[in-house]
Structure 1
């Protein structure tokens, strides 16, 4: 049965309108970064600048005494390292739990991981701060990386996918005297590549935008990332909307591009990790 053309046109129009609502703020942000503050205030909804100006981008080359490249390098380093740690810990932890359900406390541990997903993120900052203080990791890049390297959502995706792997595959490898680490790295991990790619992308998108943990653990501007630099820019320049929009564009544009290029793989991996069998 063919869909009604009127209904189909209405659905397309509705989807286009909703998409426009989400895209418009980003288009406005990019356009505002090329306008001066006075023009933004007098004609706030205008998308096409009266005249293009790169002054805002020149103004943000140095922020809080640090070059913009410092914040960019910190963002790349922290996001990259925390993503690697998150993938490894989630991969190994989920495999251990799915292959040892008979161990005492297995159910309680699994419930604990699920509770962390529902637990308000901000409430975890204080206990983590105290742990970092005891370890002497406050104000260090390593401390920030460790804080961002725990991924309950990523763990859940791996766990759900591992449940769909037939036990016969694992048992056959064990009969060949393969160790658990060898089974994980040479059999399970290659089979899990769609979920691995999804976990990598989700972690990159989440950790790139993190600002509160970085702000709490950092003690100086030399460990700030781009989102934290954006926050400091707001206090530095007050109502200089042009500068704020310029740095916001530089901060969000890489994430938008990465997601647009990889959104299909993200959805495939989410389905693989969420559906058993």
Structure 2
């Protein structure tokens, strides 16, 4: 761990710690490739950010909009949690990078387990299954670490007034021609901020009415009754997001 800290900045520490450029599946396996919007694989975070129009920002410019934009990019590029942590440490201010760095270092033994995984070409089913399990276990550890990081970063943008959290979530509507993944990530972030807040009663009624309003204005929704018949999905938050977007955008 001391050797890692000597690298200086959080991005370099995470690159070495998570094996970027050393662990063979990077650049090959799904979720472990830095792909541009056209699908071309690139091999540096600078090239990746350039193609996705993601800019490095200073602490003064770091805000929720930039955080959401990076998370939208992660969703659309199908990045796994290791690459997501590396990307954030590259584009976010150093203070945010340190949050990621310290979370990763606290789980160093687990997150560096990739060094013990033997990746080789083989037709042996048992060997393939063993490699798959070892890589999968490593990804689970990264997912757990990133989930902690995500909550900590998102909490910085969380208002103290829960009614404002509900308001921001309820008034969110898709922008014209907005991609499903972009809308989903934005709403997921807002929804995650109100975990533990009571969502029954008026809050859900506001949301239901907002969905009907949005759908009713869309020319592809010919009747309001059609919109209302789809409100059953509102009993499940996971379905709300998906159905709401698909109905509005066809």
TM-score range, shorter chain: under 0.3
Q: TM-score, normalised by structure 1?
A: 0.23
The structure with the greater share of residues assigned to helix is 1
